[in-house]
C-alpha cells in the first residue's frame, strides 16, 4: 500500500514539474503556422460541438425569425462578421485563412446548427478560436443575426449585396452616414419595424444616445458595434444630420382597443399607483408648456417601443443621466401594459416640434 | 418621564380613544400591582413570618381558592371590562371619512366629506376635527403597513387587497405624530406622518382650501415650468393642471404640510432640494428616482416654488 502511494505521489510530482517546465520554458510551440496534430484538432472541435449541444436552449424556443430581422442582421453581419466569415459568393482573404483554427465561410459555419444553437454561439462566442462573444449582455438582438444566418445558405451574392448595401450619400455628409443610413435610412425613417425611427428625436437626444452606446451605458450588441465602428468625432455630426430631417407625419395602424388602454395608462386615467403617467415626460404636448425630459415616442415603431419597455422593466436598458427615471417608471409594467403603451404611442402622429 | 411625553406617546393623549386605552392600561396596571403585592406578601408570610406545616385541608383550600377561584374572578372582571370598551373603539364615524393607503414608504390620504363625489387628496399628514368621530378606511398597495397614532388611538393594519376600518375622536387641538407600526421594508422606520387636530370650523376652512387646485399665480411661476420640464407630473399630481401622476404624493399643497417625505424632514426649501437630488440618501429603497442630473439653480428654484405651495 505504502509503495503504491509513494509511486503515485512521485509520478504526480514529476507530472507537475514537466507541466511547469512546458509553461515556464516556453516549450510548447504556439505558432499558428505549426498547426494542430489531427488528434488535437479533433479533440478541440468535438469539445466545441458537444459544449454547444449541451448548453444551447431547447429547439423550438426561438422567436419567429422574420425577414425584417434578417435585413437588420445582414447589416450587422456585414460590419462585424464578414471580415472573417465572408459574404455569400465572396472568398475569405488569405490572411483570414491563415488563422488557426480557420474561420469557415459563413454557409459552412452555419452548417446544420439550429437557430437556438446559432444564438448560443453568437451570444457566447468560442474561447481559443477567435470567435468573439456578443458585445452586450442583451440576448434579444442576437436573433436578428440568427434570422439572417438561417437564410444565408440559400442566399446568392446579388441578394446579399442588395440587402447589405450602403445608400449613396450627398457630398459633405458626416463620416459614417452611409453606414448609419444603411439601417436607419438617410432621412432616419427606416421602413423596418426592428429599426427605430430617428427623425422623431432631437439632436441632443440622439447625440446622448450615440454616446451612451459608445461608452457601454446603453445595451445593444448591434448599436455597440455601430457606435464604436464610426469615429467618435463624427457622432455629434451624425446626430445633427438625423435631427435636421423634419419628422414625417406618419403613424402606424394599431389595434384601437389596445391603444385606448395605452392612452389611459399614459395619461394616468387608470389611477394606477405603480405606473407613472408616460405623458409627463414623453408627451404629446397639451399646451405650450414643455414636458420633458424623455425622447419623443409618438409615431415610433410599435415593436421597437415594446422591446425597449421590456428592456427597461428588466433592468437592461441604460442611457443618459436621467436613465434612473425610466428604470423606476417601468419596473411595474406587465406584458399587457407594454403592448397597450406601445400601440398607443405607435398610433400617434409624430409631433411637429422636436422635444 | 420624558419618554412618556411628546407628540407620539400613549400617555399624552389628545383623543377619547387613546384616553380610553390609557385608562385600560392604568386599570390593568393597578390590578397587576395589587396581585403582585398580594402574591409576594403571601409568599413572604408563608416563608418568613409564619413558616410552619399546614394541614392538608387548608392547602387544598388555598390551591383551589387562590389558584382557580381568584384568577377566574379577576380575569373575568378584566375581560368584561376590556370587552365593554371595544365597541367604543370601533364606533362608526359621524360625518367625515378618511381613506389612508399605505405605500412604500408613505401615506396616501383622501378626505371624503359627507356626500362628496370625489375626495380631497393629500399625503403624509392627517387633519382631524376635534369633537367629531372621523371614520378611517385603511388600505395598502404593496405590502402590509400599520397605522398608529399613539396619542389619538390604537393601531390598525393596512392590508393589500382589503379595506380595514377604524375611527378616531380627537378631543384636543394639537400636532401629533404617527408611525408605521408593521415592518414594511427597508425604510419602514422612516415611514411616519403628522396628525393635526383642529377646531371644527378651522378644519372646514382648511379642507376648503386643500380642495382647491393649484393657485393661478403658482402656475405662471418659473417653478411650474421646471416641474413640467423635469417630468415630475408623471408621478405627482398638481390638481387643475396637466400634472396628474398618481404614483407619488399629491403636491398641490405640499408646502402646507409640516413635514416632507413622510415625517422625516422639515418642510423647507433646503430639505426639498436635498430630497429631490437624492431621495435614497434619506430613505433607502424609495421609489422616487434621484435628480442629481438637474441644474443646481433650477433645482433650488423648483424647491422654493414647491415650498410655497400652501
Burial annotation A340-355 (CB, 10 A radius, 16+ → b, else e): bbbbbbbbbebbeebb
**A290 pLDDT tier (thresholds 50, 70, 90):** low
- The pLDDT tens digits of the residues spanning A229-270 come to 999 999 999 999 999 988 888 788 999 999 999 999 999 888
Tell whether B29 is within 8 A of chain A (Cβ): no
Q: Which of A268, A289, A294 sits opposite B246 (nearest CB)?
A: A268
The pLDDT assigned to B278 comes to 96
How far apart are the CA of A15 and the nearest CA of chain B, in angstroms?
A: 55
Nearest CA in chain B to A295: B231
Looking at the complex, report in whole angstroms how far the Cα of residue B288 sits from the nearest Cα belonging to chain A. 8
Taking only residues 281 to 340 of chain A, the set having a beta carbon closer than 8 angstroms to any beta carbon of chain B reads 281, 286-287, 289-294, 321-322, 324-325, 327-329
- Reported as type and span, the H/E element at residue B136 is strand B134-140
Q: What pLDDT does A309 receive?
A: 96
Is the CB of B288 less than 8 angstroms away from the CB of A328? yes
Task: Tell me which of A154-163, A317-326, B134-143, B271-280 is least confident.
Answer: A317-326
User: What number is the average pLDDT over the span A191-207?
Assistant: 92
Q: Work out the minimum CA distance from A337 to partner chain B, whole angstroms.
A: 16
Which of A275, A280, A293 has the CB atom closest to B233's CB atom?
A280
Which residues, given as ranges, of chain B have pLDDT below 50? none
CB atoms within 10 A of CB A88: 20
**Residue A287's pLDDT is what?**
63
B234 and chain A in contact, CB less than 8 A = yes
Q: What is the mean pLDDT of chain A?
A: 93
DSSP string of B21-69, one letter each residue:
HHHHHHHHHHHHHHHHHHHHHHHHIIIIIS-----HHHHHHHIIIIIII
B254-271 pLDDT per residue, tens:
999 999 999 999 999 999
CATH fourth-level superfamily of A171-244: Cytochrome c-like domain (1.10.760.10)
Q: CB pairs below 8 Å between A and B: how many?
A: 72
Query: What pTM, to 2 d.p., does this model score?
Result: 0.86
Which chain B residues are within 8 Å of A281, Cβ to Cβ?
Answer: 231, 234
Of the listed ranges A211-220, A277-286, A318-327, B123-132, the one predicted with least confidence: A277-286
CA distance B244 to chain A (A): 7
| Higher pLDDT among residues A162 and B52, named by residue | A162
Whether residue B244 and residue A273 make contact (CB cut-off 8 A), yes or no, is: no
Chain A partners of B237 at a C-beta cutoff of 8 Å?
268
3-state secondary structure of B305: helix
Contact B246 A277 (CB under 8 A): yes
pLDDT at A32: 92
Minimum CA–CA partner of A280 in chain B: B234
Q: Which of B260, B236, B254 is nearest to B246 (CA)?
A: B236
Fold of A34-163: Cytochrome Bc1 Complex; Chain D, domain 2 (1.10.760)
Place of cell 418659473: B222
Superfamily of domain A256-346: Cytochrome c-like domain (1.10.760.10)
C-alpha cell at A42: 479533433
Name the architecture of domain B216-307: Sandwich (2.60)
CB contact under 8 A, B246 and A273: yes
Overall fold of domain B1-52+90-200: Immunoglobulin-like (2.60.40)
Output the CA torsion B32→B35→B39→B44 (10° steps). 90
Residue B260 pLDDT: 95
Locate CATH 1.10.760.10 in chain A: 171-244, 256-346
| Max CA distance (Å), chain A | 93
Which of B118, B123, B245 to probe by mutation at the A interface, max A CB count within 10 Å?
B245
CA distance linking residue A224 with residue A80, whole number of Å? 11
What are the residue ranges spanned by the domains of chain B? 1-52+90-200, 216-307
Amino acid at each position: 500500500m505504502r509503495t503504491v502511494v509513494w509511486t503515485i505521489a512521485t509520478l504526480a510530482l514529476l507530472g507537475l514539474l514537466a507541466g511547469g517546465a512546458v509553461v515556464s520554458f516556453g516549450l510548447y510551440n504556439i505558432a499558428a503556422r505549426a498547426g494542430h496534430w489531427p488528434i488535437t484538432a479533433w479533440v478541440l472541435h468535438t469539445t466545441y460541438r458537444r459544449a454547444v449541444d449541451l448548453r444551447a436552449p431547447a429547439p423550438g424556443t426561438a422567436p419567429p425569425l422574420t425577414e425584417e430581422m434578417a435585413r437588420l442582421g445582414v447589416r450587422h453581419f456585414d460590419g462585424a462578421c464578414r471580415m472573417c466569415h465572408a459574404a455569400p459568393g465572396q472568398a475569405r482573404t488569405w490572411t483570414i485563412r491563415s488563422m488557426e483554427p480557420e474561420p469557415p465561410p459563413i454557409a459552412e459555419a452555419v452548417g446544420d446548427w439550429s437557430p437556438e444553437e446559432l444564438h448560443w454561439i453568437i451570444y457566447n462566442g468560442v474561447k481559443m478560436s477567435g470567435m468573439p462573444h456578443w458585445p452586450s449582455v442583451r440576448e434579444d438582438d442576437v436573433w436578428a443575426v440568427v434570422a439572417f444566418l438561417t437564410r444565408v445558405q440559400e442566399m446568392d451574392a446579388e441578394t446579399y449585396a442588395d440587402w447589405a448595401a450602403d445608400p449613396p450619400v450627398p457630398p459633405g455628409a458626416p463620416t459614417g452616414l452611409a453606414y448609419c443610413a444603411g439601417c436607419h435610412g438617410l432621412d432616419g425613417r427606416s421602413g423596418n419595424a426592428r429599426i427605430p425611427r430617428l427623425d422623431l428625436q432631437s439632436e441632443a437626444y440622439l447625440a446622448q444616445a450615440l454616446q451612451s452606446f459608445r461608452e457601454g451605458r446603453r445595451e445593444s450588441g448591434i448599436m455597440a458595434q455601430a457606435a464604436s465602428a464610426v469615429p467618435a468625432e463624427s457622432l455629434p455630426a451624425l446626430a445633427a444630420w438625423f435631427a435636421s430631417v423634419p419628422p414625417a407625419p406618419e403613424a402606424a395602424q394599431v389595434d384601437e382597443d389596445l391603444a385606448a388602454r395605452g392612452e389611459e395608462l399614459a395619461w394616468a386615467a387608470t389611477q394606477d399607483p405603480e405606473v407613472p403617467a408616460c405623458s409627463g415626460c414623453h408627451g404629446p404636448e397639451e399646451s405650450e408648456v414643455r414636458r420633458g425630459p424623455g425622447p419623443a415616442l409618438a409615431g415610433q415603431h410599435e415593436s421597437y417601443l415594446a422591446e425597449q419597455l421590456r428592456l427597461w422593466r428588466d433592468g437592461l436598458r441604460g442611457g443618459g443621466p436621467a436613465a434612473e427615471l425610466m428604470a423606476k417608471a417601468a419596473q411595474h409594467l406587465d406584458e399587457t401594459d407594454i403592448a397597450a403603451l406601445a400601440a398607443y404611442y405607435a398610433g400617434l402622429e409624430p409631433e411637429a416640434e422636436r422635444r | 418621564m420624558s419618554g412618556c411625553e411628546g407628540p407620539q406617546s400613549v400617555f399624552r393623549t389628545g383623543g377619547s380613544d387613546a384616553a380610553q386605552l390609557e385608562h385600560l392600561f392604568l386599570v390593568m396596571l393597578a390590578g397587576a400591582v395589587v396581585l403582585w403585592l398580594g402574591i409576594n406578601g403571601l409568599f413572604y408570610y408563608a416563608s418568613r413570618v409564619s413558616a410552619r406545616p399546614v394541614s392538608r385541608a387548608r392547602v387544598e383550600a388555598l390551591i383551589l381558592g387562590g389558584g382557580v377561584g381568584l384568577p377566574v374572578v379577576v380575569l373575568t372582571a378584566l375581560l368584561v371590562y376590556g370587552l365593554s370598551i371595544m365597541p367604543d373603539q370601533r364606533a362608526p364615524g359621524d360625518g367625515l371619512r378618511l381613506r389612508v393607503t399605505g405605500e412604500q414608504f408613505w401615506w396616501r390620504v383622501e378626505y371624503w366629506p359627507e356626500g362628496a363625489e370625489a375626495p380631497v387628496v393629500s399625503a403624509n399628514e392627517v387633519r382631524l376635527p376635534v369633537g367629531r368621530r372621523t371614520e378611517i378606511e385603511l388600505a395598502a398597495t404593496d405590502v402590509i403597513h400599520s397605522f398608529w397614532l399613539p396619542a389619538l388611538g390604537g393601531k390598525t393594519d393596512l392590508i393589500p387587497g382589503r379595506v380595514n376600518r377604524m375611527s378616531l375622536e380627537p378631543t384636543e387641538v394639537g400636532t401629533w405624530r404617527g408611525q408605521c407600526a408593521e415592518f414594511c421594508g427597508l425604510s419602514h422606520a422612516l415611514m411616519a406622518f403628522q396628525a393635526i387636530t383642529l377646531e371644527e370650523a378651522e378644519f372646514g376652512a382648511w379642507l376648503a382650501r386643500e380642495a382647491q387646485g393649484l393657485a393661478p399665480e403658482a402656475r405662471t411661476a418659473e417653478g411650474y415650468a421646471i416641474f413640467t420640464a423635469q417630468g415630475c407630473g408623471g408621478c405627482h399630481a398638481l390638481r387643475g393642471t396637466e400634472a396628474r401622476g398618481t404614483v407619488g404624493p399629491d403636491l398641490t399643497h405640499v408646502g402646507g404640510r409640516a413635514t416632507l417625505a413622510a415625517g422625516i424632514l422639515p418642510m423647507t426649501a433646503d430639505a426639498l432640494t436635498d430630497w429631490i437630488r437624492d431621495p435614497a440618501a434619506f430613505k433607502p429603497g424609495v421609489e422616487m428616482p434621484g435628480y442629481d442630473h438637474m441644474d443646481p439653480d433650477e433645482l433650488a428654484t423648483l424647491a422654493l416654488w414647491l415650498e410655497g405651495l400652501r
